[in-house]
Amino acid sequence: MKTVNNLNFNHKKALVRVDFNVPLSAELQVSDNTRIKEALPTLQKILNDGGALVLMSHLGRPKNGPENKFSLAPVAQELATLLQKPVKFVHDCVGDEVKKAVSNLHYGEILLLENLRFHKEEEKGDAVFAKQLADLGADVYVNDAFGTAHRAHASTAIIANYFPEGQKVFGLLMAREIENAQKVLHNAQKPFTAILGGAKVSDKILLIENLLEIADNIVIGGGMTYTFVKAQGGNIGASLCEEDKLDLALELLAKAKQKGVNFYLPEDSLAADAFSNDANSQRCESDEIPATWMGLDIGEKAMATFDSVIFESKTILWNGPMGVFEMEKFQQGTRSLAQSIARATQEGAFSLVGGGDSVAAVKKFDLADSVSFVSTGGGAMLEYFEGKILPGIAAISENKV
């Protein structure tokens, strides 16, 4: 895997696709700079070599061209603070004004382009738009945006066609994401436990099927629990359930049995009489939830079982919360799980946490530094573990010119 470490950027201008899709406050200030910080090693390597940086990113999902609330201008300010260097900003990402700004950029300087998605051609993977980006005047293309690697967008995949071999490489964040994902997918120390939460089985079908080939244990939590429970004849009250996926749930359970994979569903749940933090709640068996009540978290027995499975594991993948952890009343299952993973990691296990909600959970409970790796790419990581080829990775790996 060729990365920025394989090149010397002295007297070179690098066009770097970063993932600066960060949350902004009502005052249009960056409210969480994690993704910007993750990009710093790549940016500093290029600057330390004596290169110049031309940075491009998307922000949010603008629908109608340029909108102030989706401008990357506040990100330029945040980046300047983090790097303790001025960051120039230009109000477009293609065109004569941008070309001039790149041409006037001195080595050691940084230029951030305006939101790529202000042009609808970005998400369409338009080749003409990709060529416009490639022709801005940079010598090297660097992709460090793992969070968008699963999209064949102009700036993440198509643009690589216009840079010759040796002039397109991965950034250090992208390399770390790929290396850690491959470690789990292809070199997992046994026992390997995959923990999957979230609302729907349908969102995780391909992931579960792929993991059945490599995992020793699959632990299920969150709303999708109740589709599996109902499929086996359990009473789930008003819990979330995909009625059209009951047969599929039984197929997945049968496959797990056939392959000798331990498939853990929560024995008990914390149920509520409404979807609210103020709801009445009670602990009950997951297959004996009263009518009109809904399971919103795993119960204490499930926490204990999951803890012992996790603690005996050498490799752990976590994608998806155990319950509605955004509500204080229903966060204990997710908190307990995060603590179990942290404890296993401390004892020598390798743990990878990915997916927006799981990442939010380890941050919320101050455990992000207690796991081995926190992925920055929710959808990208999910598709990678489903066994899909990610366009943003393939574009640089496939030796196209």
Is the CB of residue 343 less than 8 Å from the CB of residue 311? yes
Q: Report the distance separating Cα 324 and Cα 160, nearest Å.
A: 41
197 has catalytic annotation: no
* Selected catalytic residue, list 200, 343, 363, 364: 200
Contact by Cβ (8 Å): 174, 143: yes
- For the question of residue 233 being annotated catalytic, the response is no
Give the list of residues 6+ apart from residue 45 with CB closer than 8 angstroms, or none: 4, 5, 9, 172
Contact (Cβ atoms closer than 8 angstroms) between residue 232 and residue 286: no
End-to-end CA distance of the chain: 17
Which residue of the set 12, 137, 379, 400 is catalytic? 379
Element (H, E) at 181: helix 172-186
Q: 17 by DSSP, 3-state: which?
A: strand
Helices and strands per DSSP (H, E), number in the chain: 14, 17
Provide the 10 A C-beta neighbour count for residue 401: 11
Is 355 among the residues known to form the active site? Answer: no
Cα gap 13→53, rounded to integer Å: 6
Name which of 48, 32, 31 is nearest 83 in CA terms. Answer: 48
Length of the chain in terms of residues written: 401
Q: Tell which residue, 271, 263, 191, 200, has the closest CA to residue 235.
A: 271
Tokens 């999910």 map to which residue? 382
Q: If you write DSSP's letter for every residue of 55-120 in order, what string do you get?
A: EE---S--SSS--GGG-SHHHHHHHHHHHTS--EEES-SSSHHHHHHHHTPPTT-EEEE--GGGST
Residue the block writes with tokens 């080829």: 389
Instruction: For residue 292, give Cα distances in angstroms to 234, 278, 298, 357.
Output: 15, 16, 18, 27
Is 356 one of the annotated active-site residues of the chain?
yes
Partners of 264 in beta bridges: 219
- Active-site annotation holder among 108, 356, 364, 400: 356
> What is the spatial distance between Cα 173 and Cα 145, in angstroms, rounded to a whole number?
8
| Omega within 30 of 0 (cis) for the link into 191 | yes
**Active-site residue, selected from the candidate residues 13, 17, 35, 204:** 35
CA-nearest of 383, 394, 14, 9 to 210 is 383
**Could you list the active site residues?**
35, 200, 356, 379
